[in-house]
Amino acid sequence: MVARVADVSMRRRSFLQGLGLVAGGLTLGLLDEAEALAAPPAKAGAKAAGAPEGLSPNPFVHVSPAGEVVVVCQRSEMGQGVRSSLHVVIADELGADLARVRVVQAEGDKKYGDQNTDGSRSVRNDWVKLRQMGAMARTQLVAVAATRWRVPATECVARDHAVWHDRSKRTLGFGELAVDAGKLRVPDVKKIQLRPRSELRHVGTELPLRDGPDIVTGRGQFGADVKLPGMLVAVVERPPVVGGKVATFDATKALAVKGVRKVVELPTPQGAPAFQPRGGVAVIADHTWAAMRGRAALSITWDHGPNEIYDSDAYREQILSSVRAPGQVMRKVGDVDKAFAEAARTLEAEYYLPHLAHAAMEPPAALASFKDGACEVWATTQNPQAARTEVARALGIGEDKVKVNVTLVGGGFGRKSKADFVSEAALLSREAQAPVRVQWTREDDIRHDYFHTVSAQSLKVALDKDGKVTAWRHRTAFPPIPSTFDATQKRPSEGELGQGVLDLPLAIPNVQAEAGEAPAHVRIGWLRSVCNIFHGFAIGTFVDEVAHARGQDPRATWLDILGPARNLTPEEAGVKKIPNYGTPIADHPVEVGGLRNVIEKVTELSGWEAKRKAGQALGLSAHRSFLTSVAVVASAKRGKDGKPVIDEVWIVADAGLIVNAERVRSQLEGAVIFGMSVLFHGAITMRKGAVEQTNFRDYPVMRIGEAPRRIHVHVVPSEARPGGVGEPGVPPVAPAIANALFALDGTRHRQLPLSAKRPG
């Protein structure tokens, strides 16, 4: 028995080494797999000791003697469909029957490689890795069958949950082979053969929603739904201003509320906010309602700290000033100033987009049970490994003493990559000496978010006498995400500028992009498509403005400005590097042809030319992000009440190879609605450093009555390396609709949102 454990441990190590070597081509993957390599072998062995009987060549797949295939979903399910998609890649590569595949959700563990579910990276980064995991198991099952039949393994095939030797018409089920296969040495990942794409039967098809039946019956378990015996519930009053802290508090009245057990002050975060809890005062009670009422009865005075100066009106002027002056040059081709001086005319416009809150329908919630120096957590987290690290840090214990279980995530959009709320639960469980669920209210969620950043941009072009664009200058200023981790960061980072500014193909001889200073006074986070939201909006609107300035069809202007099909190089772009979402451009080039193609396709499908000639108000925009090109056409009409109605939207995406066509379609439909919220609705504003909004009353998002009558989705058939899907649909939506509204009534929208009071 002992020998067997050691054996398994050896095999785990060889798997990890193999994975590390294979990941050499993937920049993001490399880091992740390096982390996996660093996992101590003893730990891997300990895990393997408890492994069930059968074949477990790697942490992702297990074949039981009964023939059940268990596949681990290591990414978090938050509506994008990973739990209905990723297992199919492994199962197809293995040759498993999907009806006999069970999906289990991974806890946070480095042995799975990267688990941070954001950046639209699940399929784009894991596609090859998941195939390898399935192929390892297949190789072993085939090897056992071939040995039993005394035939070459090359004559055997795995399909329909069995290995077949077609010539002799013999077959053995996976279950019959699993135990012996588990005794074999795990094959070298570098040497295993992946199947030809044509044999991956389900990849690219419309696959069923695995969690659908659980969700529609209320059985699906989200962050707040996990129960433990003796658990308590905590609600926290956090400092209204980032960097603020509790000066004094009086808990007398809170403690008098029936059901309240304890009132605890949480530690004040040190240094940059990062993923630390915000501090404040927690009320721990028997149930959620008692905790909420207890919190309402707290009396707290705050020391607000230096960010009390943050005022959105003043700040808007500050960052607009920033883009009215030269910034740090981040992209340069030719000489824009000379071109402006020599131009027949110039066109310039400023854009301002507010802070946004994620406002996922499920507010943050986590349950923690701290006992005997160890902590187990159940959380709605997009990043269970970060949650594990943060909980360990907050408690001052080793990560090996922390277990993070991942529930269904009731919407994430980037918010739930940050584990501040998970650490709160851990700290409070230790204080209460009982399991504690921390429940964020909607008000907490809106007021204490890691906000999408506020931004100002200035775009300017030079036109020659024929209307040809001879120069393009893009200035952008926004508090950057790195400021959340390092307070000295006050300018947009290269990675953020890589989201639409540095990587925009421009067939224009003089190009310059500049980054302006914009210090942060709140925690800046990433929201679905991140900086592409505002860069895509400004670029998409400005191209339309240029088209109208020169009296041309916007479609023609788009194609003219992007230029001919080619791969954008750093030299052409005038940048040191095209960040390209962490993927080398050699592996996944910026294909201008791909962007042109989605524009051509969406205008074809929407009947762009005929409808425009007939006087219909259509708007177009396009944007490449997360390695995927997307174009949108929107149709605007006057409603019965005279207000504009967005009647139909067409969205075309080239995401390379896709796994689950049905979930890809649903993501793109959702992206249209998400983009419409950006355009029409919410804005987060600050007064004296504190958020003014509280709930959906004053932070509105799209409702059903505003949704288009039809959303037409087209995904370009492709066998190219996968791009992202969850985010890239969002950026072109708001500008396409804004351009349609311009076509409808001649009003140009450069500040968002449209329906709320003027932001800031």
Partner 1 sequence: MIALRVNGTEHTVDADPDMPLLWVVRDLIGLTGTKYGCGEALCGACVVHLDGEAVRACVTPISKAAGRSVTTIEGLSKDGNHPLQKAWVELGVPQCGYCQSGQIMSAAALLAKKPKPTNAEIDTSLAGNICRCGTYTRIRAAVRVAAGLPKEE
Pick one of 13, 696, 718, 750: the residue that binds partner 1 (CB under 8 A): 696
Q: Count residues contacting partner 1 (CB under 8 A)?
A: 66
Contact 594, 623 (CB under 8 A): no
* Angstrom distance (rounded) from CA 191 to CA 442: 51
Phi, psi for 544 (deg, rounded to 5): -65, -40
Residue number, 452 or 612, with CB nearest to partner 1? 452
| Residue 673 is a binding residue for partner 1 (CB under 8 A) | yes
* Segment interacting with partner 1, rule: CB under 8 A, options 51-59, 125-133, 270-278, 667-675: 667-675
Q: Measured between alpha carbons, how far is residue 430 from residues 110, 395, 422, 424, 608 in Å? A: 25, 8, 13, 10, 62
* Angstrom distance (rounded) from CA 45 to CA 48: 5
Number of Cβ within 10 Å of residue 758's Cβ equals 11
Residue number, 411 or 563, with CB nearest to partner 1? 411
Contact 223, 365 (CB under 8 A): yes
The distance of closest approach from Cβ of residue 696 to partner 1 in the complex, given in angstroms and rounded to an integer, is 4
List the end-to-end C-alpha distance of the chain, in Å, as a whole number: 67
Give the residue carrying structure tokens 């005062």. Answer: 281
Residue type, 632: V
| Residue 722 is a binding residue for partner 1 (CB under 8 A) | no
The distance of closest approach from Cβ of residue 244 to partner 1 in the complex, given in angstroms and rounded to an integer, is 24
Residue number, 576 or 703, with CB nearest to partner 1? 703
- Letters for 413-452 (x = contact with partner 1 by CB under 8 A, - = none) are x-------------------------x-xxx---------
Q: Measured between alpha carbons, how far is residue 240 from residues 2, 420, 441, 483, 522 in Å? A: 56, 16, 14, 19, 10
The distance of closest approach from Cβ of residue 667 to partner 1 in the complex, given in angstroms and rounded to an integer, is 8
Please give the residues from 634 up to 663 whose contact with partner 1 meets the rule CB under 8 A. Answer: 662-663
Residue number, 159 or 442, with CB nearest to partner 1? 442
Residue number, 368 or 702, with CB nearest to partner 1? 702
The distance of closest approach from Cβ of residue 195 to partner 1 in the complex, given in angstroms and rounded to an integer, is 27
- Residue-by-residue DSSP string for 157-211: EEETTEEEETTTTEEEEHHHHHHHHHHSPPPPTTTPPPPPGGG-SSTTB----TT
* Segment interacting with partner 1, rule: CB under 8 A, options 1-9, 138-146, 348-356, 671-679: 671-679
Burial class from Cβ neighbours inside 10 Å (0-12, 13-18, 19+) for residue 295 reads buried
Omega before 753 within 30 of 0, i.e. cis: yes
Burial class from Cβ neighbours inside 10 Å (0-12, 13-18, 19+) for residue 283 reads buried
Question: Beta-strand (E) ranges in 550-692?
Answer: 567-568, 590-591, 617-625, 628-638, 644-654, 686-687, 690-691
Q: Report the helix count and the strand count for the chain, using DSSP H and E.
A: 22, 29
Residue number, 180 or 669, with CB nearest to partner 1? 669
The distance of closest approach from Cβ of residue 234 to partner 1 in the complex, given in angstroms and rounded to an integer, is 13
* Segment interacting with partner 1, rule: CB under 8 A, options 73-81, 335-343, 475-483, 557-565: 73-81
* Segment interacting with partner 1, rule: CB under 8 A, options 58-66, 71-79, 138-146, 537-545: 71-79
| Residue 578 is a binding residue for partner 1 (CB under 8 A) | no
| Residue 605 is a binding residue for partner 1 (CB under 8 A) | no
Pick one of 65, 305, 334, 411: the residue that binds partner 1 (CB under 8 A): 411
- Letters for 219-238 (x = contact with partner 1 by CB under 8 A, - = none) are xxxx-xx-x-----x-----
Q: Coil, strand or helix: which one is 135?
A: helix
Residues forming a β-bridge with 515 = 328, 476
Contact 115, 381 (CB under 8 A): no
Please give the residues from 236 up to 295 whose contact with partner 1 meets the rule CB under 8 A. Answer: 258, 287-289, 292
* Angstrom distance (rounded) from CA 386 to CA 404: 10
Pick one of 10, 47, 670, 754: the residue that binds partner 1 (CB under 8 A): 670
| Residue 179 is a binding residue for partner 1 (CB under 8 A) | no
* Segment interacting with partner 1, rule: CB under 8 A, options 76-84, 104-112, 449-457, 533-541: 76-84
| Residue 363 is a binding residue for partner 1 (CB under 8 A) | yes
Buried b (16+ CB within 10 A) or exposed e, 155-185: ebbbbebbbbbeeeeebbbbbbbbebbbebe
Residue number, 77 or 109, with CB nearest to partner 1? 77
Contact 712, 652 (CB under 8 A): no
Q: Measured between alpha carbons, how far is residue 328 from residues 67, 323, 490, 574 in Å? A: 61, 10, 12, 14
Residue number, 79 or 182, with CB nearest to partner 1? 79
Residue number, 439 or 616, with CB nearest to partner 1? 439
Pick one of 123, 366, 409, 636: the residue that binds partner 1 (CB under 8 A): 409
644-654 and 710-715 strand pairing: parallel
The distance of closest approach from Cβ of residue 122 to partner 1 in the complex, given in angstroms and rounded to an integer, is 14
Comparing CA positions, the residue from 666, 611, 628, 648 lying closest to residue 737 is 648
| Residue 671 is a binding residue for partner 1 (CB under 8 A) | yes
* Segment interacting with partner 1, rule: CB under 8 A, options 151-159, 383-391, 404-412, 593-601: 404-412
The distance of closest approach from Cβ of residue 708 to partner 1 in the complex, given in angstroms and rounded to an integer, is 7
Pick one of 78, 402, 434, 524: the residue that binds partner 1 (CB under 8 A): 78
Pick one of 408, 438, 530, 575: the residue that binds partner 1 (CB under 8 A): 408
Please give the residues from 324 up to 343 whose contact with partner 1 meets the rule CB under 8 A. Answer: none
Residue number, 84 or 139, with CB nearest to partner 1? 84
Pick one of 68, 109, 211, 376: the residue that binds partner 1 (CB under 8 A): 211
Residue number, 595 or 659, with CB nearest to partner 1? 659
Q: Copy the structure tokens of residue 51.
A: 């492994």
The distance of closest approach from Cβ of residue 680 to partner 1 in the complex, given in angstroms and rounded to an integer, is 13
Q: Measured between alpha carbons, how far is residue 560 from residues 404, 504, 508, 556, 570 in Å? A: 51, 13, 9, 6, 20
The distance of closest approach from Cβ of residue 353 to partner 1 in the complex, given in angstroms and rounded to an integer, is 19
* Angstrom distance (rounded) from CA 582 to CA 346: 35
* Angstrom distance (rounded) from CA 475 to CA 326: 8
Pick one of 667, 685, 693, 739: the residue that binds partner 1 (CB under 8 A): 667
Residue number, 476 or 660, with CB nearest to partner 1? 660
The distance of closest approach from Cβ of residue 672 to partner 1 in the complex, given in angstroms and rounded to an integer, is 7
Residue number, 219 or 468, with CB nearest to partner 1? 219
Residue 721 DSSP one-character state:
P
Comparing CA positions, the residue from 614, 78, 706, 54 lying closest to residue 379 is 78
Comparing CA positions, the residue from 502, 591, 597, 533 lying closest to residue 559 is 597
Q: Copy the structure tokens of residue 318.
A: 């500050």
The distance of closest approach from Cβ of residue 653 to partner 1 in the complex, given in angstroms and rounded to an integer, is 15
* Segment interacting with partner 1, rule: CB under 8 A, options 485-493, 507-515, 560-568, 672-680: 672-680
Pick one of 272, 707, 720, 756: the residue that binds partner 1 (CB under 8 A): 707
State the residues that interact with partner 1 by CB under 8 A: 77-81, 208-209, 211-213, 215-222, 224-225, 227, 233, 258, 287-289, 292, 359-363, 408-413, 439, 441-443, 662-663, 666-667, 669-674, 677, 695-697, 701-705, 707-711
